[in-house]
Copies of this chain bind each other. A is one copy, B any other.
Amino acid sequence: MKPAFRLEDHLCFSIYSCSRAILRMYQPVLKKLEITYPQYLVLLALWENRECSVKQIGVLLDLDSGTLTPLLKRMESKALLQRKRSLDDERIVTVRLTEKGAALKEKAVCIPETLIRSSQMTEAEIQNLNRTIKLLTQQVTQGQMK
């Protein structure tokens, strides 16, 4: 039997495409907050731990220093956070939120709500989808290791 090798059957494409559609939907809110989506993710990480190393942020978001270093510098120049080399271990750069960065949390809660509302899905359906996709990510990443 011949596999249907069509664009529309590609799960990778529907995920890639969905991700970009969500980012487009977020744009108006992100623009108001004057941040980008990856910057929002960094803020999410820092709202949970006010202080973090670049390495830890990289593990949480699965991004490397080549992406994070310039991104964090841009956020620093906007006074959302501070970067400081650790005294204990000078290889480590510690990132901490400023008041301004912490204050953005208030205005950002509407972001995930936007997605929940527009998805027309129940809370349970969303959690279910979230679990499924995380599992897929894990499988794909593990398959990568070997």
Contacts and interface: CB of A to CB of B under 8 A. Distances in A.
B130 A14 contact: yes
Contacts of A98: none
B25 A129 contact: no
A92 interface: no
Interface stretch (A69-77, A83-91, A115-123): A115-123
A15 interface: yes
A130 B9 contact: yes
Contact of A140 (B12, B18, B134): B18
B14 A133 contact: yes
Of A37, A105, A120, which is in contact with the most chain B CB atoms at under 10 Å from its CB? A120
A13 B41 contact: yes
B7 A44 contact: yes
B7 A41 contact: yes
6 contacts: A5-B44, A11-B112, A11-B129, A11-B130, A14-B133, A120-B139
